[in-house]
Amino acid sequence: MSPTGGAALKRGTSTAPEPRFRAPPPPARRLDSARQPLYLALARTLMHEIDKGRYAVGSALPTEDALARHHGVSRHTVRQALRELKDEGVVWARAGIGTIVRSRPEAPRFFSGIKTVWDLLQFVEATEMHVVKRREVVADAALAELLHCPAGQAWYEITILRKLPQEKVPLSYLQVYLRPEFVDAVGPEKIFTRPIYSMVEERFGVRIVEVRQEITAANLEAGMARALKAKEGLAAMRITRYYLDRDGAVIEVGVGYYPSGRYTQRSRFQAQSADGAGAGHG
């Protein structure tokens, strides 16, 4: 027996430490949910606290109740936020133990599926858009097919390198096509951290109500490859987004090229039976 009355441990053996619960720091600051869903605001806050060492790797996050009280949100919102962290591989959960920090967040090269304009806004705000050049263009046959517009229509083209903060290699090569009547919405800045469509909304009072997205495979042309510090001909994902106003008019088109290995978009689908019940029921 050990001096404390417990069984003595053999030399050279050890036991895994129990995850130590750490209460959230008071007081909570108000979540920045003005431009994103509340659960994403909470997820980003928790990511930041983990990254800064508030919750160490191997430690347990506060309970759902504690997080809900601390941040002034519902338990449902907390669960949604924790699910985002699980999907990113930052935490894991086990019944009877709690939610454990698995690793510190990596640079956000992985993004949850973009299903709404809010999701798109969150993605853009996590990156920086570095303007390479601006010019007026007239759509030839090839560009007209890409933009779904008549040949000969005028557009304002902005070439952008999308980057993650403090990352040297660009995430993507982006060409934004804006109708000339909305060009004044874009200032002379060299770096943007907000979507161009939101600048148009603010400046001209238009409202983007729909974003149509097309995803295709592509290969990097020489100029794109040089800008992206990648090999010419490298496989890439081309994401084209069309921004429409209330009248169905296309206000902006964005064509982004994401080299292989630099971007992954995650989506989650739940199977349902014919009567609407979730998979596994019936």
Pairing mode, strands 264-266 and 110-112: parallel
Q: Are 214 and 112 in contact (CB under 8 A)?
A: no
d(CA 81, CA 61): 12
- On the question of a cis peptide bond just before residue 37, with omega within 30 degrees of 0, the verdict is no
| Whole-number pLDDT of residue 110 | 41
| Whole-number pLDDT of residue 274 | 57
Structural Rg of the chain based on CA atoms: 24
d(CA 165, CA 84): 21
d(CA 129, CA 126): 10
Question: For residue 254, with 0-12 CB atoms within 10 Å meaning exposed, 13-18 middle and 19 or more buried, which class applies?
Answer: buried
Backbone phi, psi, residue 259, to 5°: -60, 150
d(CA 100, CA 19): 7
Residue 21 tokens read as 């619960």
| Whole-number pLDDT of residue 280 | 45
d(CA 70, CA 64): 10
d(CA 94, CA 75): 17
| Whole-number pLDDT of residue 180 | 94
pLDDT in tens, the chain (282 residues): 444 444 443 434 444 444 455 555 554 555 654 445 788 788 888 988 888 889 999 999 999 999 999 999 999 999 999 988 888 788 999 888 899 999 887 644 444 455 555 555 556 667 889 999 999 999 999 999 999 999 999 999 999 999 987 778 999 999 999 999 999 999 999 999 888 998 999 999 999 999 898 999 999 999 999 999 999 999 999 999 999 999 999 999 999 999 998 877 666 666 665 555 554 444
